[in-house]
Amino acid sequence: MALSEEKISHLSHLVLQALEKDPSVERKVEKELILRQIKRTLLSELNLDVQIDELVRQKLSSYSRRIVEGSPEWDILYQKTFNEEMKKRRK
């Protein structure tokens, strides 16, 4: 999923605001450093999603029996394969 810099910045600020409201979170570094790390993390997660999406689409297209993208069967296989690949990468 591609998000604009503006949207990523907005989401980062929302995450930071939520952290600041949480009484169990104590800030020990500058807000800007936290904000930068939140942005890096969001970008990393988005890039991982894109990589896995490409891999899953490649796997599904390599099946000997053609499965039409958008069909219920394709959607189920896509989600199953996507979740499996995500689990592999998160270990």
Res. 2 pLDDT band, cuts 50 70 90? confident
pLDDT of residue 1: 61
pLDDT of residue 91: 66
Please count the structural domains in the chain. 1
Nearest to 13 by CA among 39, 43, 44: 39
C-alpha distances (whole Å) from 77 to each of 48, 56, 74 are 19, 9, 5
C-alpha distances (whole Å) from 57 to each of 6, 17, 21 are 28, 36, 40
State the SS3 of 36-63. Answer: HHHHHHHHHHHHHHHHHHHHHHHHHHCC
Q: Which domain holds residue 27?
A: 5-90
pLDDT of residue 43: 93
| pTM for the model | 0.71
